[in-house]
Amino acid sequence: MRHLLVVAYYFPPLGLSGVQRVAGFVRHLPEYGWQPTVITAKPGGYFAHDKSLWSPIEDAGIRVIRTKSLDPTRLFRSGATVRLPQETRRQTLAYISNWLFIPDNKLGWKPFALRAGLRQAAAQRFDAVFSSAPPYTGHLIGRKLSRTLKLPLITDFRDDWVGNPRHIYPTALHRRLHIQQERQVLIQSSAITTINRPILDALEKRHRGENIRGEVIPHGFDEYEAPVKIPAREKLKLVYTGVFYDAQTPEYFLRGISGFLKKNPAMRPKISAIFAGLVPNGFTDLIRTLKLEDVVQYVGYVQHAHVAELQQEADVLWMTIGSRPGSSGISTGKLYEYMGTGKPILALVPPGTARQTLLRYGAAYIVKPESEADVIQALNQITSDWNKENFPSPDESFVSMFGRNRLTEMLAGVLNSVIKTP
């Protein structure tokens, strides 16, 4: 059994999608000959905590070392669940943070994580270091551990770094410093993994001349979250699970439903839209303005163990990726989780990676992200298919490519290859 030192700031019992990728890898890696030890931060204030994500890690006996950290989440009580801020406030806080911290506001975690990693490496032998980002401080920690311990480094990019469409650089100097850190991490990395091809292409383009060895390992789904056939019911149930932030908004979906019901009032008692997760401020006001109180149900944040049940009970799942520069390279974990159910997906997405994936999935109604008219048209088709019990079927062979077990096997292959490399 080989041993892997994993650096991941976001880790159970924190919730939301950024946690699930590394948690899935860690859970399955022992099946492929790699025993992970995780260096993470003690839970601070966060938008969601999910014990159901922690239980499988604990049951698998994975060693997890939790360290102190000096970062803004420590302003809240340890383990506190905090409200999602208003988007304007979030952007203001992000701008201030981008001025003060490079690469991000988790920089104060670095000395604690390094100390814990070096102490653990003195107690046991490791064969490689694996870091996942964001936050990109994790890659700086991975780089330092790799250099100090003389171990190969594998860096996992869940988002682009310098090219992240959600990151604003206050000055040209800030951007140059980020590029410098990104280059240093890539040079140290024996291999990198990304969630999609555009991120890998962007890294290679920015650092031409560097010998970047990259592999795309997309997001995925847990195989035990298998689809369940639900019998026909009196109501068409549309379900959203997850969080809204930045350019991702429920507004156009809700306006589309409102417009659809004005044109099809007989469908009003036959349609239901359920939201589970974190919604933006103003969500309730918009529902009230559109007079959708009898149609929309918000159930709050739901533990991951129950999310699959909600998804399986849906007739159609829906998702959105807002239009903005760089959105073509966004492929959310939600998309792959949805595909794992085998359910039809209503997708408000721009051209790009997510749309291409949905086209290959097959069971998708794809519309422009900010088009109420397109949503109305899609709902017309969805209700017609629902009435006829004739929803499109997914390409099961395509879906099978994204099981968490298979993706972990791909990661193990990358790990094995860098060990063999002199």
Lowest mean pLDDT among 13-22, 27-36, 46-55: 46-55
Mark whether 375 and 407 lie in a shared domain: no
Handedness of CA 358, 49, 93, 287 (dihedral sign): positive
Same domain, 315 and 347: yes
Least confidently predicted of 81-90, 142-151, 313-322: 81-90
User: Tokens for 63?
Assistant: 């060693």
Whether 274 and 381 map to the same domain: the answer is yes
Query: Is 227 contained in some domain?
Result: no
- Confidence label for 194 from pLDDT (cuts 50, 70 and 90): very high
Helix ranges (H only) for 32-103 are: 51-59, 87-100
Residue reference for tokens 């990198």: 192
Q: Say if residue 186 is in the same domain as residue 260.
A: no
Least confident span in 24-38, 230-244, 248-262, 361-375: 230-244
More confident residue, 246 or 356: 356
**CA distances to 7, 70, 137, 396 from 107, in Å:** 13, 8, 6, 42
Residue 85 clears pLDDT 70, i.e. is over it: no
Give pLDDT tens digits for 362-378. 999 999 999 999 999 99
The number of beta carbons lying within 10 Å of the beta carbon of residue 418 is 17
- The CATH number covering residue 362 comes to 3.40.50.2000
**Strands, E assignment, 70-163:** 128-133, 153-157
In a shared domain, residues 55 and 99: yes
Whether residue 347 lies inside any domain: the answer is yes
Give the number of other Cβ atoms within 10 Å of residue 204's Cβ: 14
Residue 397: inside a domain, yes or no? yes
Percent of the chain at pLDDT exceeding 90? 72
What are the distances in angstroms from CA 181 to CA 80, 129, 140, 144?
32, 18, 8, 12
pTM of the model: 0.91
Residue 101: is its pLDDT beyond 80?
yes
In a domain? residue 283: yes
Supply the pLDDT for residue 80.
54
For 112-162, the pLDDT digits (tens) are: 999 999 999 999 999 999 999 999 999 999 999 999 999 999 999 999 999
Helix residue ranges per DSSP H, 301-420:
304-313, 333-339, 353-361, 372-387, 396-399, 404-420
For β-strands 296-298 and 271-278, DSSP reports them as: parallel
Please give the average per-residue pLDDT across 414-418, as a whole number.
97
Whole-number pLDDT of residue 73: 65
Is the Cα dihedral 46, 52, 53, 57 positive or negative? positive
Which range has the worst mean pLDDT, 86-95, 195-204, 295-304?
Answer: 86-95
Q: What is the mean pLDDT of the chain?
A: 90
Is residue 225's pLDDT more than 70?
no
Which pLDDT score, from 0 to 100, does residue 409 have?
98
How many domains does the chain fold into?
2
Contact 340, 312 (CB under 8 A): no
Cα–Cα distance, 215 to 192 (Å, whole number): 6
Same domain, 171 and 311: no
Asked if residues 251 and 348 have their Cβ atoms less than 8 Å apart, the reply is: no
Residue 277 lies in a domain: yes
Claim to verify: residue 195 and residue 263 sit in the same structural domain: no
Same domain, yes or no, for 287 and 208?
A: no
Verify that 289 and 164 share a domain, yes or no: no
**Residue at 229 is within a domain:** no
- Higher-confidence residue of 322 and 340: namely 340
Asked if residue 62 and residue 148 are part of one domain, the reply reads: yes
In a domain, 230, yes or no: no
Residues 176 and 284 in one domain: no
What contacts 366, CB < 8 A, 6 or more positions away? Answer: 347, 349, 355, 358, 359
- Residue 226 inside a domain? The answer is no
Query: Domain range for residue 172?
Result: 2-220+403-420
Between the alpha carbon of residue 368 and those of residues 252, 337, 355, 372, the distances in Å are: 10, 21, 10, 9
Tokens of 289: 């303005």
| Residue 17 or residue 342, greater confidence | 342
Mark whether 49 and 102 lie in a shared domain: yes
